[in-house]
Structure 1
Amino acid sequence: MDDDQQFLASAGVSRCSVDEEGLCWPDPVARHFGLRDAQPLFRWLRGVRPIFRKPVFQLIRAALSEGGGEATLTLEDCDGALKNMRVAARTRRDAAGRLTGDMVMVDLTGEQAEIGRLRRSMENLRLIVEYNPQLPWIADPDGRIIDFTDRWLENSGLEREEAEGNGWLATTHPDDIGPLTQRIGHSLTTGEPFDVRVRLMVNDQYRWMRAQAYPRRDEDGRIIRWYGYTEDIHESVLIEEQIRWNAEHDSLTKLPNRAMFNACLDKALADAMTDFKKVGVFLLDIDNFKDVNDLMGHHAGDELLKSFASRLRDVFAEDAVVARLGGDEFAILVKDVENRAQLAALANRILTIRETFFSAGRSLECRVSIGVASFPEDGRVATELLRHADLALYRAKSLGRGRMQMFEPSLLEDMQERVAMINRARTAVRDGTIISYYQPKVSLQTGELVGFEALLRWRDSCGTIRSPAEIYAAFDDHDVADMIGQTMTSQVFADMAAWRARGLTLGHVAINVSSAELRRERFAGRLIETMERFSIEPDAIEIEITEGVFLGAGSDTVRRSIDELHRCHIPLALDDFGTGFASLSHLRSLPVSTLKIDRSFVSGVTAREGDAAIVSALITLGRALNMKVVAEGVEEADQSIKLKEMGCDYAQGFYFGRPTPSENIPALIHSWHENSAIVTLNRRPASWPLRGTRGEERPGSLTA
């Protein structure tokens, strides 16, 4: 019996008998619970917490009468430890027939401590869920919501009965219901987890939410529940959308940028291939934009770009994409084009856009040049279409700007020819086949040989001497033009040094300089260094430029180069005068010492009164500005006589001599000085026959 009592005591169960005398504990139980084996009832009750004494006393009374009962109490044993006990009492009669009671106590202290820990853990989990921004929910195998938190209901504004099942869809943005139900249906069919973004109504406004759910399966792999959560990601989505917008739009004009335009073009072409539609692409440049920046500041330039962007949006329908590619370059994508005539009509509407800016009492009108290409006639992929539109834009600008040009196959041929020219020029520089030729410059008043103009020639692979007209595109390529210029300059200075060493008097040599060379930051410094290396004095050369050097980007660098040449007392001549833009303004602001009248006017000076009037006016203008005047392209004696009568200072052309290589120059100079007949300018010297006639190759100013 003691072993049984010991086992029960170790399991937290005690049994004692109770009678009117008190409680009788078996020794094992008393030892386990720290009690005495017997003690009066009132003394035992003293260890029971006061709030439990009355129910325990009633329980004991019930045990001593016929009946019994149960109660829970907290007991303090003789060692002062508190124990939570469940007490059960029942009545019985002993062998003598006396009424006694049995009382069984079960120690609940450990169990209740574990229950307390579980309760606290559950409370912690509940609070974590409640305060987490993610709102959990549970759905049945068919995706119907069966449980969610009260906070979800509060946010959605729905009652529990309304939200259960599929009722929560009432809070979904109408545009998102279709994609959302499709994605959920896919997960229900495949059992794959789903992760979607959806706009849900929260506090009377739609907010972006992220909903994720994962399946729970039974032992057979069947889905028995879906556990998911919904998380508010509205602010993150707005930030993402702003970042995406910034990545796809121009911050100044708010138009799509190059990346977005290219993406739209790719999609439009893919759709057009499927639907057999036409697509049009416009590339635009704002004429005179750089002048606005230079004269009125970058703020004015920004205002021009924003105004022009707004005007473009007004011209085109909403389905067209108007984009700013960068700088003053814009692009327009037009879908569902009917024919090329429609594109031409749209381009002409763009050409009507005029923006006039005022500064320092002067106005500046800005127009656009437009290149147009269409799918599928002009290209079937985006890169090809854009390249062809760019070729059309290049042609529009070369024809005088402020106009529209549709792409034509001949433009591609021209581009290929320009590339071939650049390659030929690069090869000529590499192989050392650039050659300097020289054409005499004569005083019309005295007949003296006053100098030469250095003209570029090059030898092809067959040994034939070619004119610069066959590589003229190379002078628009900055790198190749710069290489040609350095080669020509070194050759000319070397020839001049050799002639000087022979004691020849040659006056000055004019060297043509391209706009690409002048746009190099160190052009002037490098030229001066080369002059010093060959001991060339500043008044022994003359730098010839055209008005085209002031057009386009880099004109500020051009002006700095010219000012540096002027500070070094190197004379400057303005070539092809009268054929460019803003000539009078350039004459007024540039340190020009020589004015060269273009051959297009000189050729008609004796045949057309209009040309004679222009030439006379240009000579008068040059004299008024204290400049020397040179007539180019003189081919007949009558022309030279007429120019002399008009007061022109100098002339050059086939009448006086064709361009010749450097090795012929010493003989030419000796022949000229020995022949006095040239002084009259009425005939050519017999010793120097004219080998060219009207209509043959005419050396222009296409030199480095």
Structure 2
Amino acid sequence: MRDPLPRAILESLCPCAAVFDADGTILHSGPTLEKAYGEPLAGKNLLDIFKVTAPRALSKTKDFKRFLTRKISVTLMRPDGDHRIAFRSQFISISDDDRTFIVNCSFGQSLLSSVEILDLEEGNFSFADPSMDLFNSLSVQQELITEHQHLTEKLKSAKQSAERRANTDPLTDLPNRRAFSDHAERMLRSQKQDGKALAFLLIDLDKFKQVNDMFGHAAGDFVLKAATNVLRSAFGDNGFVARLSSDEFIALITGKDVLAEAEKLSFSIISQISEPIKYESSRVQIGASIGITTACPGQTKSLDQLLLEADLALFEAKEGGRLRSQVYDARLGRKYALMGRLTREMEPALAAGEFVPFFQPQIEPATGRLTGAEVLVRWLHPQLGLLNPVEFIFVAERNRMMGRIDHEVRKLALDTFKKWQRYGLQLDQMSFNLTAEKLGDKTFVDEIMRDIEQRKIKPSQICFELLESILIDGANAPVLEGAADLSFAGFKLALDDFGTGHASIASLISVPVDTVKIDRSFINGLHSSKRIRSMTKAIIGLCQQLRLKIVAEGVEDVRDLQLVQEMGCDYVQGYYFAKPMSSNDFWDWAQSRQIEACNVR
């Protein structure tokens, strides 16, 4: 029988094909198919070499004709039995009497794996070998795959880099707020399974703003990195530390007795961060305050609530003198609940005029004359009654409303001051507390000048008391310039809470004050402590040498009154005379007292 497809033509046109007869006996095969099988195929039965898997299994040679021209899937059964190569194939009759057939195979998706199995390289092919088609096709495919892999790696690397930048603080290389939130949420979810308690430590650097203002931002960055090293060392691999903002960090630890561990770590951190830091030729010193809260198994606190608890505990730590830690507890919980209510009600309260001035008299002890009044803000809450600043100032500051409240109260107090003048109550001055933020506001002097000019009040009749926070957080150029501007405009300045350690002697030089108010901790019980009397006498002597007026705060006992008068205090105020009062009560008190307000001469 004449071969309708000679081997030479098969090798040239169909390198991956086999010619077989009606019995399934292979007459000859292409070189590529032989390389795939591993040995010559001539004389072998097609069904011993191939297994037809689709469209359905084929087991008899007589079935070939039913699959002619149809696309089929076959598997090449190699002699070693280790590898099977899948082909997409087609049976075609190549004789007039349908006695000779060809199965033409294509590697398709199996090209790469097949060549890896066969370990084919370019050197395995001669120039004229039609099997080079296989390798050339593979080279194109491999180039495309390599390029795809390269692009995939670049995209993966870029994504990882972007994720790192999005989750890392660039200065300290610590996780940022976003990364901490993700980690904390995961820990809170896993707590349901592992039953471990969590502790959150909110860490704030004290005096950091002073470092920036005095030495520059490079020094501030240096200090932040130093603090970061302390935190990394303290928590090690047992805690997750992140930087939340400029000088605020947060840490999360887990374990059995996390509260005791958190308090132990806090003590160590505060001690280490408070150590002097050498920067260039200077020694810089900061501190730290820490708020702590815990999340125990079975609780349903959200991350936002836990962070707010830690924030509140931190505020308490700062209010308690800084350089300390504070644990959130039930007492603070009640305060937090009240804060939530006050936050909702503060804006409507301001619009309704519920924030009002109260007045505490200032007396000249030598004559008993009423010389002035300190203005203190109060909230006349319709349900909760009279609220002192300690009960709402944190909420006001947190919601950036304290400035607006102070302004409204100050205008009401100035109206009252002018009203008293018209009705014959002549005070030398009225005193207002002033925050560092307001003092550093360049528009404040113009604002207060408009307020007093509208009421025809002289600047010399107004005294601004500089709070201790100004000297802790705000001894910077804008604050000092603001104090100088007020002094130049004719307003009086008083240094409040002097002697407590918050205000330094240097402040008497750097801030243009006219008056020093000695803190109540020196005055209340003055008669019972020889040591306090000596310290108070030294403070008064210093102020007298600097020709500053002196106000003794917190006078509650006639014996203390006699002592401060003997020491040379110019003015006194305290519960011995009167508590802070509403404008009407102050008027009645002043009228009933007249010049006999103080019996000590």
Give your verdict on TM over 0.5: yes
1:576 corresponding residue in structure 2: 497
Q: 1:370 aligns with which of 271, 277, 290?
A: 290
Indicate how the Cα distance of structure 1 residues 533 and 587 shifts in structure 2: closer, same or farther if over 3 A, else same: same
* SS at structure 2 position matched to 1:575: strand
1:249 corresponding residue in structure 2: 168
Q: 2:86 aligns with which of 140, 151, 172?
A: 140
2:307 corresponding residue in structure 1: 386
Q: 1:453 aligns with which of 370, 374, 389?
A: 374
Q: Cα offset for 1:245?
A: 1.6
Say if 1:518 and 1:561, in contact at 8 Å, map to a contact too: yes
Indicate how the Cα distance of structure 1 residues 490 and 413 shifts in structure 2: closer, same or farther if over 3 A, else same: same
Indicate how the Cα distance of structure 1 residues 480 and 210 shifts in structure 2: closer, same or farther if over 3 A, else same: farther
Q: Cα offset for 1:526?
A: 1.0
For residues 14-58 of structure 1, give each alpha carbon's deviation from its aligned partner in whole angstroms, at most 9, with x where no partner exists. xxxxxxxxxxxxxxxxxxxxxxxxxxxxxxxxxxxxxxxxxxxxx
Say if 2:515 and 2:551, in contact at 8 Å, map to a contact too: yes
Indicate how the Cα distance of structure 1 residues 632 and 271 shifts in structure 2: closer, same or farther if over 3 A, else same: closer
Q: 1:334 aligns with which of 239, 253, 265?
A: 253
Give the Cα–Cα distance (whole angstroms) in 2 for the partners of residues 282 and 660 of structure 1: 41
Indicate the structure whose relative CO is greater, using CA pairs within 8 Å and at least 6 residues apart.
Answer: 2
Give the Cα–Cα distance (whole angstroms) in 1 for the partners of residues 279 and 374 of structure 2: 41
| Structure-to-structure mapping, 1:337-348, within 5 angstroms | 339-348=258-267
Q: Cα offset for 1:608?
A: 2.1
| Structure-to-structure mapping, 1:80-229, within 5 angstroms | 140=86, 146-148=110-112, 159-160=119-120
1:637 corresponding residue in structure 2: 558
Q: Cα offset for 1:428?
A: 4.1
Q: Cα offset for 1:427?
A: 4.6
2:232 corresponding residue in structure 1: 313
Give the Cα–Cα distance (whole angstroms) in 1 for the partners of residues 188 and 587 of structure 2: 66
Q: 2:404 aligns with which of 447, 472, 483?
A: 483
1:237 corresponding residue in structure 2: 156
Give the Cα–Cα distance (whole angstroms) in 2 for the partners of residues 463 and 388 of structure 1: 23
TM-score by length of 2: 0.69
Q: CA RMSD in A?
A: 3.9
| Structure-to-structure mapping, 1:551-700, within 5 angstroms | 551-552=472-473, 557-663=478-584, 681=600
| Structure-to-structure mapping, 1:522-561, within 5 angstroms | 522-552=443-473, 557-561=478-482
Indicate how the Cα distance of structure 1 residues 379 and 144 shifts in structure 2: closer, same or farther if over 3 A, else same: farther
Compare 529-538 and 553-562 and name the one that shifted more.
553-562
Give the Cα–Cα distance (whole angstroms) in 1 for the partners of residues 440 and 156 of structure 2: 48
Give the Cα–Cα distance (whole angstroms) in 1 for the partners of residues 87 and 481 of structure 2: 80
The answer to whether the aligner puts 1:301 opposite 2:261 as a matched pair is no
The answer to whether the aligner puts 1:411 opposite 2:332 as a matched pair is yes
Indicate how the Cα distance of structure 1 residues 305 and 679 shifts in structure 2: closer, same or farther if over 3 A, else same: closer
Q: Cα offset for 1:250?
A: 1.4
Give the Cα–Cα distance (whole angstroms) in 2 for the partners of residues 529 and 466 of structure 1: 29
2:50 corresponding residue in structure 1: none
2:64 corresponding residue in structure 1: none
Indicate how the Cα distance of structure 1 residues 381 and 501 shifts in structure 2: closer, same or farther if over 3 A, else same: closer
2:422 corresponding residue in structure 1: 501
TM-score by length of 1: 0.60
Q: Cα offset for 1:478?
A: 6.3
**Unaligned ranges ≥5, structure 1:** 1-137, 163-208, 213-227, 683-704
Indicate how the Cα distance of structure 1 residues 370 and 672 shifts in structure 2: closer, same or farther if over 3 A, else same: closer
Indicate how the Cα distance of structure 1 residues 500 and 298 shifts in structure 2: closer, same or farther if over 3 A, else same: same
* SS at structure 2 position matched to 1:265: helix
Say if 2:364 and 2:570, in contact at 8 Å, map to a contact too: yes
- The residue identity in structure 2 corresponding to 1:481 is M
Q: 2:203 aligns with which of 274, 277, 284?
A: 284
- The residue identity in structure 1 corresponding to 2:351 is R
* SS at structure 2 position matched to 1:160: coil
Identical columns (%): 29
Query: Aligned residue pairs: how many?
Result: 479
**Unaligned ranges ≥5, structure 2:** 1-83, 89-106, 123-142
- The residue identity in structure 1 corresponding to 2:491 is I
For residues 445-479 of structure 1, give each alpha carbon's deviation from its aligned partner in whole angstroms, at most 9, with x where no partner exists. 33333233334445342796665555444563464
For residues 543-595 of structure 1, give each alpha carbon's deviation from its aligned partner in whole angstroms, at most 9, with x where no partner exists. 12221234447965543432221120100112222235143232221111011
* SS at structure 1 position matched to 2:495: strand
Give the Cα–Cα distance (whole angstroms) in 2 for the partners of residues 475 and 503 of structure 1: 36
The answer to whether the aligner puts 1:270 opposite 2:216 as a matched pair is no
Give the Cα–Cα distance (whole angstroms) in 1 for the partners of residues 220 and 260 of structure 2: 33
2:351 corresponding residue in structure 1: 430
Say if 1:453 and 1:509, in contact at 8 Å, map to a contact too: yes
Greater C-alpha radius of gyration: 1
Give the Cα–Cα distance (whole angstroms) in 1 for the partners of residues 176 and 517 of structure 2: 46
Give the Cα–Cα distance (whole angstroms) in 2 for the partners of residues 521 and 629 of structure 1: 29
Say if 2:210 and 2:476, in contact at 8 Å, map to a contact too: no
